[in-house]
């Protein structure tokens, strides 16, 4: 630790590095510092941390809903996506699902404008025996969790929009636009990579970049052939 004032040897090293840089010679480990870019990357990191927290909370709510759905009838958990669409319209119990499916104006209700979605609802209803009932306490818990889930999903959408807007920062936009050309790239993924390299990928060697974003090689062996490919691990903001 040098403290606030560098020691004599450190001062000489800094002076030598400054002399080399001024003369145009590269100095390993020394890179231009941009406070503006650093601040933009820091703000992006905060948004990603918020996105991660909200995603984890969403997973917890979905797991709780999955358990409650299974307690009513397993097929509700198996076809949870179809069931949750109905839950948003107040159809939680098997009886409420049947009432929803019998509505003459079903094709005018959100989520059910398309025939494929209506057919998925009908198949779900047919898969539940007529004698199956839901405990009122369970139904009330599902209703409460579904409201929380909808609120959280709106917050996630808002956070995603904030991340997309943050990528338009002048110091990050050229890099974000370049990486968004990669097939299947998303603003959240690109933002995560930018944060992992602290907004300055040019300061990293190829191996340092791979380590920063959590990439590691994957080897597949078949007969006499060995194939090496890159695999990107789940990236968490450092």
Query: Could you tell me which residue, 169 or 124, shows the higher pLDDT?
Result: 124
Q: At what angle do helices 94-101 and 115-126 cross, to 10 degrees?
A: 140
pLDDT computed for residue 35 by the predictor = 75
Q: Which of 214, 199, 173, 203 is nearest to 42 (CA)?
A: 199
pLDDT computed for residue 222 by the predictor = 58
Average pLDDT for the chain: 84
pTM comes to: 0.73
Averaged pLDDT, 160-185: 89
Flag whether pLDDT at 32 surpasses 60. yes
Quote the distance between the C-alpha of residue 186 and its chain's center: 9
pLDDT computed for residue 224 by the predictor = 57
Flag whether pLDDT at 159 surpasses 90. yes
Return the structure tokens found at 149.
Answer: 């889930």
Residues 216, 231: contact at Cβ < 8 Å? yes
Flag whether pLDDT at 24 surpasses 60. yes
Q: pLDDT tens digits for 187-238?
A: 999 998 888 887 777 777 777 777 777 765 555 555 555 454 444 433 333 3
Query: Could you tell me which residue, 3 or 88, shows the higher pLDDT?
Result: 88
Read off the pLDDT band of 184 (50, 70, 90): confident
Lowest mean pLDDT among 117-126, 152-161, 165-174: 165-174
Return the structure tokens found at 233.
Answer: 């691990």
Q: Considering the chain, what percentage of its residues have pLDDT values greater than 90?
A: 53
CA distance to 4, 10, 72, 181, 190, per residue, from 184 (Å):
46, 47, 38, 9, 11
Read off the pLDDT band of 82 (50, 70, 90): very high
Query: Could you tell me which residue, 5 or 24, shows the higher pLDDT?
Result: 24
């Amino acid at each position: 630790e040098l403290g606030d004032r560098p020691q004599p040897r450190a001062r000489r090293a800094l002076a030598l590095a400054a002399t080399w840089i001024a003369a145009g010679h590269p100095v390993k480990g020394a890179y231009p510092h941009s406070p503006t870019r650093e601040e933009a990357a820091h703000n992006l990191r905060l948004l990603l941390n918020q996105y991660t927290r909200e995603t984890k909370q969403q997973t917890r709510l979905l797991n709780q809903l999955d358990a409650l759905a299974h307690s009513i009838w397993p097929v509700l958990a198996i076809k949870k996506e179809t069931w949750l669409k109905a839950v948003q319209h107040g159809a939680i119990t098997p009886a409420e699902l049947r009432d929803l499916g019998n509505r003459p104006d079903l094709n005018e209700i959100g989520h059910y404008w398309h025939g494929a979605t209506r057919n998925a609802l009908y198949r779900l209803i047919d898969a539940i025996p007529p004698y199956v009932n839901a405990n009122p306490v369970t139904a009330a818990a599902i209703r409460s969790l579904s409201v929380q889930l909808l609120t959280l999903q709106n917050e996630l959408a808002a956070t995603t929009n904030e991340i997309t807007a943050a990528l338009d920062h002048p110091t990050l936009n050229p890099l974000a636009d370049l990486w968004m050309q990669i097939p299947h790239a998303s603003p959240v993924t690109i933002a995560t990579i930018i944060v992992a390299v602290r907004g300055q990928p040019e300061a990293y060697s190829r191996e340092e970049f791979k380590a920063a974003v959590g990439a590691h090689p994957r080897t597949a062996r078949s007969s006499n052939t060995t194939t090496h490919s890159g695999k990107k691990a789940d990236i968490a903001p450092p």
